[in-house]
Structure formats: structure tokens, C-alpha cells
């Protein structure tokens, strides 16, 4: 049975709910264990990514520009 991560919109408390796919399809309305509000927001989890693999494209990692990481520009500070 998969797990779903939620965050309470009322108090911001994150919590995990265990529910079947049938329960999820029927409209899962978990209750916050802290303040018992039903205004919750589902968080993206690894479960969601497994189901979204049809795209097949992986984003390339952003390339860092060459040069001193510290920004001194000349290596004068000892970074180079
Ligand atoms: Zn809450």
C-alpha cells in the first residue's frame, strides 16, 4: 500500500498517509493529526516520480561557469 505525503494548510504540519489506490482515486481527504483540519496539500514524493517516467527526458545539470568560485576574479584571495 503506497504512502502519500501531505502538509496541513492550517498549521503546516507535514504527515504521511497510507492509502490504497482505490482510496486515492475516490478522493483522499486526510485529516491533520495535529489540528484535525482537512485542508491539506499533497506533496510530491518518489511514488509520483515512478508514475511519471513516460516523458523519458532528463534535464541536464546546469553547468557552472569557469572561474574562481569566490568571485575575486584573479585568484588573489588564494582561491585559484
Ligand atoms: Zn494541521
Q: pLDDT digit string (tens) for 3-32?
A: 889 999 999 999 999 988 888 888 888 999
Contacts of 20 (CB under 8 A, 6+ apart): 1, 2
Q: Which domains does the chain have, with CATH numbers?
A: 3-51 (2.20.28)
Contacts of 24 (CB under 8 A, 6+ apart): 2, 4
Write down the pTM of the prediction: 0.53
CA of 42 to the centre of ligand 1 (A): 13
CA of 22 to the centre of ligand 1 (A): 25
Residue that wins the pLDDT comparison between 64 and 48: 64
CA–CA separation, 50 vs 53, rounded Å?
Answer: 6
Residue that wins the pLDDT comparison between 46 and 16: 16
CA of 32 to the centre of ligand 1 (A): 5
Residue 67 has pLDDT above 70, yes or no: no
CA of 40 to the centre of ligand 1 (A): 8
Contacts of 44 (CB under 8 A, 6+ apart): 5
Give 28-42 pLDDT, tens digit per residue: 889 999 999 999 999
Question: What is the distance, to the nearest Å, from the Cα of residue 7 to the centroid of all Cα atoms in its chain?
Answer: 11
Amino acid at each position: 500500500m503506497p504512502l502519500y505525503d501531505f502538509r496541513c494548510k492550517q498549521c503546516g504540519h507535514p504527515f504521511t498517509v497510507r492509502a490504497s489506490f482505490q482510496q486515492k482515486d475516490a478522493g483522499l481527504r486526510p485529516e491533520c493529526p495535529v489540528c484535525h483540519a482537512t485542508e491539506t496539500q499533497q506533496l510530491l514524493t518518489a511514488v509520483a516520480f515512478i508514475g511519471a517516467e513516460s516523458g523519458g527526458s532528463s534535464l541536464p545539470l546546469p553547468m557552472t561557469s569557469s572561474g574562481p568560485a569566490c568571485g575575486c576574479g584573479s585568484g588573489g584571495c588564494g582561491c585559484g
